Structure 1
Amino acid sequence: MDDRVREHATVLVDWSARVEAGDDVVVAVSEGSHELAVAVCEALGDRGANYVAVYDSDEIERAYLRAHDGDFDEDPGFERALYERADTVLRLGRGRNTAAKADVSGETRQAYRQRHTGIREARMDTDWVSTVHPTRSLAQQAGMSLREYETFVYDAVLRDWESLAEEMAQMKTVLDDASEVRIESGDQTVEMRVDGRTAVNSAASVAYDSHNLPSGEVFTAPYATEGELTFDVPMTIYDRQVRDATLVFEDGEVVDFAAAQGEDAIAQIVETDAGARRLGELGIGMNRGIDRVTDNILFDEKMGDTVHLALGAGVRRLSPGRRDGQRVGDPLGSDRRRERGLPGRGGRRGRATERAVPVGGGVRGRRVARRRRAGERHSRSNRSATASGSYASSISRDRPRPSTSA
């Protein structure tokens, strides 16, 4: 086994999930991630945790969805019970075919997702973390050889996370102190409010309200979005390519949209429910181990010196009361030009327009109760949970320039 696989497992179990002796851990294993699963379960055994492995296969789910009549049971109790009794869920993706469910109708997928909302929420109430093992399918999707892609993945995952967390704490302070953010791209501008929000320093650990490995972004939940922006790098939404997507916001909601390709995928997103038309996330990518677009949201949204936007429900700790939407399609914009006033080493940061930026950050250390086997509630230090979901992304070649106003 490649030593980097074991290092990946160690970072996932110790830094990201903070697994302790006696914890009940669900390990969701996709096709192609067997080697990482072996290393992860070895680490769990060494730490005295309990585990259940489940096979998380897109190909199996495709077969099920295509055969089903579409009248799905709501939150099957046996599956929900697994996550309600778990302390941690580790999802190891993805499989042999990144477009395995491309021929499943959007209506069927949406119905299945909506009828499993309770299961998804139960899973997200654990200390869950998603990561990927480098596979040939992901390498092909990224346009790399397998060896090149392995190096890319481990450069993104095996970081000095404590140092990066300290750097990102400065950007968190910028967003926490700002009242408005403006993104400019050519002659297009999008403005959004961020006052009253608390940004997340997403340092690849549940201790930082962060549930992806790799991570390396600072994000917040904006509101009152106005303006228009076009994203000209292809993105994948529901296994479909979307090119040159344009979103128009008025009164905080998407009122118009267009795309040169895949416009129906955008329509599927914004028609999910009322909350899906609102901007749910503004993120600043700061992981400089990620230096190129790979058509994989787990990496693309964290790429150093980029900005990304996501439609749908925002993270619940950032925007109280805004739970009426799915977190869905995620166009990205990037800019590598240095502006005045914001911290960090070279690369785009945006512009603070009024006051100086103090250094801040650190582990939240908030205790969050979760269910145990007997249904009792318990708490553990340095843990917290956020709402999230899977969504697709892209990066704008026009390099939109973000700025903040206090």
Structure 2
Amino acid sequence: MNSLEQNLEKYAELIVKTGVNIQEGQTLVINAPLPSLELVRKIAKKAYEAGAKNVHVEWSDDELTKIKYQLAPDEAFNEFPMWKAQGYEEMTLHGAAFLSIYAPNPDLLKDVDPKRVATASKTSAAALHKYRSYLMADKTPWSIIAVPTSEWAQKIFPDLLQEEAAAKLWDTIFYVTRVDQEDPVQAWREHNVRLAQTKDYLNKKQYKSLIFEATGTNLTIELPENHYWQGGSTVSEKGIRFNPNIPTEEVFTMPHKDGVNGIVRSTKPLNYGGKIIDQFSLTFKDGKVVDFNAETGYETLEHLLEMDEGAKRLGEVALVPYHSPISLTNLIFFNTLYDENAASHLALGEAYPFNLQGGTEMSKEVLTSRGANSSLVHVDFMIGSPDMNIDGVTKDGKREPIFRNGDWAIGTLR
């Protein structure tokens, strides 16, 4: 067995045991692009060996997606197969675990009318809203991972031949997911402990607000009373521990939807729906985006913000140190799963209920009254940089350093 084959086996095992943590008799649903076939087969084998009852795979293909955007009539983008949405909801309620393999071609839809992309995104978001709300409340285990595709690999390594680029991206993925270590599952146990220590520190502090200062950024984010920081592994409604993201380096919580003021500038490109948005800034007043600009993807950003009222407000604030494994690769991945774990970031749209103490038991109305944002979308964008300073403001108004020059400035986290 060659080194790639060995690492694929370890990656599959990590995904099954740590990512979704498959239990005896459980169904696993996998959403995957065609280039991930070899890995999906290994994941299915590992899942069945772990006791899975069934492994159901939903395949996607970039070229078919592109053909539809180019040739389908406009009305096609106002439809979504509701049997699929209802099936996902049903499988969630029956305790299935969900794995998404996220490896989009960053330039797939660069020549497509942004209005078509926006319409399709809104239609899909509306149809899948209940299913996604179940996952965002950790009703059942779910995880997101990535595999190289030729287009994605060459976007990151444009000077390499296709096979060389894919091989280099595999090596990078194995490094940042700790698969290159002797026992990745144990390495992730230790990593989750470190993230838990960080979130425990912040949860005890219960800062009233956070202040972000960097080049192009001067932003104050109020935090709701009894907010709760999360990071690393979490626990489903039935008590199953799982890792929603592999890799992950973040701790994150909920901003107050009406308490964001100032300006923030992006530091990495955002791949949204197959379109790139880059070098953009957002100005907030009382929680709402009141002005924005973008050097690349202005129309796409405009359509995102117009998705619904909640798309103009924040649903997540996440802290990631600059000197973390993904950041230290010095790569722009054009893939939110990776780029968001290389830099502190914010998310426009829906808030996670579990970021409020007792939030998963609250009605939508109560969550809203406590400051949780509601939206059809949840879109992360990166704001972290080597010059980022972050302060926490205590309930008595004292400012305490959390980040200095892009890294932790608190106690043992330095």
Counterpart check, 1:14 vs 2:17: yes
Matches within 5 A, 1:192-341: 192-196=221-225, 197-203=227-233, 210-223=243-256, 224-285=259-320, 288-290=324-326, 291=328, 292=330, 293-303=332-342, 306-318=343-355, 320-321=367-368, 322=372, 324-336=374-386
Matches within 5 A, 1:7-406: 7-49=10-52, 50-65=54-69, 66-70=71-75, 72-73=78-79, 76-86=82-92, 87-94=96-103, 97-116=105-124, 117-122=126-131, 124=135, 126-143=140-157, 145-158=165-178, 160-176=187-203, 177-186=206-215, 188-196=217-225, 197-203=227-233, 210-223=243-256, 224-285=259-320, 288-290=324-326, 291=328, 292=330, 293-303=332-342, 306-318=343-355, 320-321=367-368, 322=372, 324-336=374-386, 350-351=390-391
For residue 180 of structure 1, report the CA deviation from its aligned partner. Answer: 0.7
Q: Which runs of 5+ in 2 are unaligned?
A: 159-164, 179-183, 357-366
Q: Which runs of 5+ in 1 are unaligned?
A: 338-347, 358-397
Structure whose residues are more often helix by fraction: 2
SS class of match (1:211): coil
Kept after mapping to 2: 8 A contact 1:172/1:200: yes
Paired with 2:84 and 2:216, the residues of 1 have a C-alpha distance of 53
For residue 316 of structure 1, report the CA deviation from its aligned partner. Answer: 2.5
Kept after mapping to 2: 8 A contact 1:201/1:208: no
Kept after mapping to 1: 8 A contact 2:263/2:284: yes
* Change in CA separation of 1:149 and 1:174 when aligned onto 2, cut-off 3 Å: same
Kept after mapping to 2: 8 A contact 1:17/1:205: no
Per-residue CA shift, 1:72-107, capped at 9, x if unaligned?
Answer: 346512552255225112122326x44333444333
The amino acid that maps onto 1:150 is W
* Change in CA separation of 1:67 and 1:353 when aligned onto 2, cut-off 3 Å: closer
Deviates more, 1:223-232 or 1:285-294: 285-294
SS class of match (1:334): coil
For residue 120 of structure 1, report the CA deviation from its aligned partner. Answer: 4.8
* Change in CA separation of 1:31 and 1:208 when aligned onto 2, cut-off 3 Å: same
When normalised by structure 2's length, the TM-score is: 0.75
Paired with 2:166 and 2:123, the residues of 1 have a C-alpha distance of 37
Paired with 1:183 and 1:336, the residues of 2 have a C-alpha distance of 13
For residue 18 of structure 1, report the CA deviation from its aligned partner. Answer: 1.3
Deviates more, 1:244-253 or 1:323-332: 323-332
* Change in CA separation of 1:150 and 1:78 when aligned onto 2, cut-off 3 Å: closer
Paired with 1:216 and 1:188, the residues of 2 have a C-alpha distance of 22
* Change in CA separation of 1:114 and 1:35 when aligned onto 2, cut-off 3 Å: same
* Change in CA separation of 1:105 and 1:187 when aligned onto 2, cut-off 3 Å: closer
Per-residue CA shift, 1:286-337, capped at 9, x if unaligned?
Answer: 583312332211111112xx31112111113225234631334433222447
Matched-pair identity in %: 20
Paired with 2:62 and 2:89, the residues of 1 have a C-alpha distance of 19
For residue 231 of structure 1, report the CA deviation from its aligned partner. Answer: 2.4
Per-residue CA shift, 1:92-151, capped at 9, x if unaligned?
Answer: 2326x4433344433333333333334353253542211111233222122273332212
* Change in CA separation of 1:246 and 1:69 when aligned onto 2, cut-off 3 Å: closer
Per-residue CA shift, 1:20-59, capped at 9, x if unaligned?
Answer: 1211111222021111101101101212211112212233
Kept after mapping to 2: 8 A contact 1:91/1:131: yes
Paired with 2:304 and 2:405, the residues of 1 have a C-alpha distance of 25
